[in-house]
Amino acid sequence: MLNTIKKILRSLGPGLIVAAVVLGPGSITSMSAIGSILRTKILWIALVSGAFMMTFTILAARFGAVNEKSFMTIVAERYGRWLAVVIGVFTFLVCAGFQVGNNLGVGMAMNAVFGGPVWLWALVFTLIAICFMFLFSSLYQAIEKLMMALVGIMIVAFFTNLVVARPDLGEVARGFIPSAIDPGSIPLIAAVVATTFSVAAALFQIYLVQEKKWGPAELGKVLRDSAVGIVALPLIGLVLMITASTVLGSRGITVRSAADMAVQLEPLLGRSAMYLFCLGLWGASFSSFLGNAVLGGTILSDALNIGGRVASPWSKRFAALILLAGTAAAAASSRFSPVNSIIVAQAATVIMVPLISFMILWLSNKRDLMGDARPAWWVNVIGALGVLAVCLLAVNTVINLYGRLTG
């Protein structure tokens, strides 16, 4: 039995990396802020988004196991290099948007404990992350070990705290019942969807599976890894929202800083909540710093036909550019509320993902590419609903953000 468990744990990797990429400090901040403002009203959206995320991650994992060629190579061969470049640039911009949240999140955590400007801490950790990328020759294995440890710590901490916080189960249950959406809450909803349904991170699953050199013979292992790894993402998101609603929302606390978010852990940790929460926020920061940047760098280099592997030189160079761009944007937004800046940055990433989600679903149904590994009809229905959802949300997000900028 013990040997079986060890074997399963050794096989995990890509799914957990995808979860750690998405669950960064920006996601933790967004979910905490949204839970304190909207309470449990949109738990159903987080749950549905999590179902979409699992569907697309499994589609991507299948694609990576069945095909030796990379996703962008296949797109370029079938539809032209220009489309591959467009998808690569969109993915790069999505990652840059998330990186703003990562930088602000780590800056908030360090500022709460040690003081100093948020942008300065963001710069320090950006430089550390860049050094990590270029000093480790076996980057995938290094990232994999780090992600698995950090995701495990976050799961234990947040789930234990939820039990201690003792939420109102009736209120939580009502939150899973679909209800009308307030148009004024669109940016908050977009941030929730961006956090729990990250299409770019799902796309990265293709590259991570190929990095593992898993083929059709390992298809069962691929699907198990994807399901077990990515299920942590919506669950932790729901736990964060419920805890924020219980501890912060019930006391009228609006999240404006890391100190406000740390109040969530007081039922479990008492006075030490501030320091331990900031340590957890730092852990989420570092995992997402690396994973998110490498994601964007790898896919853009593949789209331009100058890379395509996690450890290739151009993947690292573009990843470093994402890290530096995120730092610059975080510094530029430092005169605004870091929490609001994170929510806006993550909401804006939704605009880029409809094309990416459509191409994953489209190519996953090509008989000459997938053979018998094509998805079942009900998987396609969920996938199509996911594409439709991000399209509608992208349009509404553009309209809402434009209104805010011009109004």
Query: Domain map of the chain by residue range?
Result: 13-174+183-406
Q: What Å distances lie between residue 193 and 128, 187, 197, 348, 397, CA to CA?
A: 30, 10, 5, 11, 11
Dihedral in degrees, nearest 10, Cα atoms 35, 38, 39, 45: -80
- Best CA proximity match to 167, nearest among 19, 26, 43: 43
Determine the pLDDT at residue 133: 77
Q: Which of 289, 297, 75 is nearest to 67 (CA)?
A: 75
- The residue with tokens 């992600």 is 147
Q: Running along the chain, 407 residues long, what does each successive block of 10 average in pLDDT?
A: 46 57 69 80 86 88 88 93 93 84 77 78 83 67 59 67 80 86 74 78 84 72 66 77 80 68 66 66 69 87 87 88 86 67 65 87 92 89 91 79 64
Q: Report d(CA 382, CA 363) in Å as an integer.
A: 16
Helix, strand and coil content of the chain, in percent to the nearest 5, comes to 85, 0, 15
Distance CA 226, CA 236 (A): 16
| pLDDT of amino acid 365 | 94
Pick the CATH number of 13-174+183-406 from 3.40.50.300, 1.20.1740.10, 1.10.1040.10, 2.40.30.110: 1.20.1740.10
Question: What is the token pair recorded at 126?
Answer: 């950006």
| Model pLDDT, residue 256 | 66
Query: Which residues lie closer than 8 Å to 347 by C-beta, 6 or more apart?
Result: 186, 187, 188, 190, 191, 194, 397, 401
Entry pTM: 0.81
Q: Measure the CA–CA gap between 65 and 68, rounded to whole angstroms.
A: 8
Q: Which of 304, 352, 297, 351 is nearest to 324 (CA)?
A: 297
Q: Tell me the residue type at 324.
A: L
Distance of alpha carbon 225 from alpha carbon 182, whole angstroms? 37
Q: What's 376's DSSP letter? A: P
- pLDDT, residue 358, reads 93
Q: Identify whether the C-beta of residue 118 lies closer than 8 Å to the C-beta of residue 334.
A: yes
Tell me if 93 sits within 8 A of 105, measured CB to CB.
no
